[in-house]
């Protein structure tokens, strides 16, 4: 045991079928995310970094050991990712989030195209993001387990939506067809959760 813990998955492994298959969910959560938590704990336990919050560790990513940057990012990104999806999700956002998306990208369709392109064109492993930056919505992407909260990020801000495009997130079901995984993922987005993050970020 260490300071950081694997959060409870808010649904069953098969909840996001057929878009995200049960085996991928189970391995992704119990193996990949769990390993980030274990390795993060191993990297900070007994050091000064043990006193820092996860957000503080991410904000100083350029100064912490690579194991803290990689596994701290992995823990943060996946903890967020699970909450951004739900059974019966999808559709389009409403309210202030919808207004902000229309203001920033002209339309939901334009936003979806821009985000999907960021996810599809991230070379190798990484994430696509919708972030709040100085009160405005911006689409970006990061390599590996980096994220927009890190001081090393090219585009910084508060992430409110993120998509994991590591092969481990889709390869069992989609093999090399990352664009198909991305397109199907829009059917499981929990827009209420994204809207909550949006209002908290303002």
* Shortest distance in whole angstroms from residue 44 CB to Mn ion: 21
Backbone angles phi, psi at 161, to 5 degrees: -150, 135
Cite the DSSP H helix spans in the chain.
22-27, 34-44, 54-59, 66-83, 95-105, 108-121, 171-174, 178-185, 191-201
**Vertex 162, ends 161 and 166: CA angle to 5°?**
170
Residues in the site for Mn ion, rule: CB under 5 A? 164, 166, 169
* Shortest distance in whole angstroms from residue 77 CB to Mn ion: 7
Q: Which residue from 6, 8, 16 is spatially nearest to 173, judged by alpha carbons?
A: 16
**Looking at beta carbons, which residue is closest to Mn ion?**
164
Helix (H, G, I), strand (E, B) or coil at 83: helix
Closer to Mn ion by CB, 157 or 162: give it. Answer: 162
* Shortest distance in whole angstroms from residue 107 CB to Mn ion: 30
Closer to Mn ion by CB, 76 or 105: give it. Answer: 76
* Shortest distance in whole angstroms from residue 36 CB to Mn ion: 8
Closer to Mn ion by CB, 77 or 116: give it. Answer: 77
For residue 101 the two structure tokens come to: 């998306």
Closer to Mn ion by CB, 57 or 169: give it. Answer: 169
* Shortest distance in whole angstroms from residue 96 CB to Mn ion: 29
Provide the Cα torsion 14, 20, 24, 27; round to 10°.
-60
Closer to Mn ion by CB, 77 or 137: give it. Answer: 77
Quote the DSSP letter at residue 132. Answer: E
Closer to Mn ion by CB, 137 or 145: give it. Answer: 145
* Shortest distance in whole angstroms from residue 33 CB to Mn ion: 7
* Residues ≥6 apart with Cβ < 8 Å to 31: none
């Amino acid at each position: 045991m260490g300071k950081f813990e694997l959060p409870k998955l808010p649904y069953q492994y098969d909840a996001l079928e057929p878009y995200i298959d049960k085996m991928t969910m189970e391995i992704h959560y119990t193996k990949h995310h769990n390993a980030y938590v274990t390795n993060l704990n191993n990297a900070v336990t007994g050091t000064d970094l043990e006193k820092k919050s996860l957000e503080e560790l991410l904000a100083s990513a350029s100064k912490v050991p690579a194991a803290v940057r990689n596994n701290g990012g992995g823990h943060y990104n996946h903890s967020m990712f699970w909450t951004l999806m739900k059974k019966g999700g999808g559709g389009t956002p409403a309210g202030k989030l919808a207004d902000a998306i229309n203001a920033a990208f002209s339309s939901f369709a334009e936003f979806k195209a821009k985000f999907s392109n960021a996810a599809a064109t991230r070379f190798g492993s990484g994430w696509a993001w919708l972030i709040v930056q100085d009160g405005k919505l911006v689409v970006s992407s990061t390599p590996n387990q980096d994220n927009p909260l890190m001081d090393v990020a090219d585009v910084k801000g508060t992430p409110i939506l993120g998509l994991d495009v590591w092969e481990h997130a889709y390869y069992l079901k989609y093999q090399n067809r990352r664009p198909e995984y991305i397109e199907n993922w829009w059917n499981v987005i929990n827009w209420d959760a994204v809207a909550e993050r949006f209002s908290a970020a303002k």
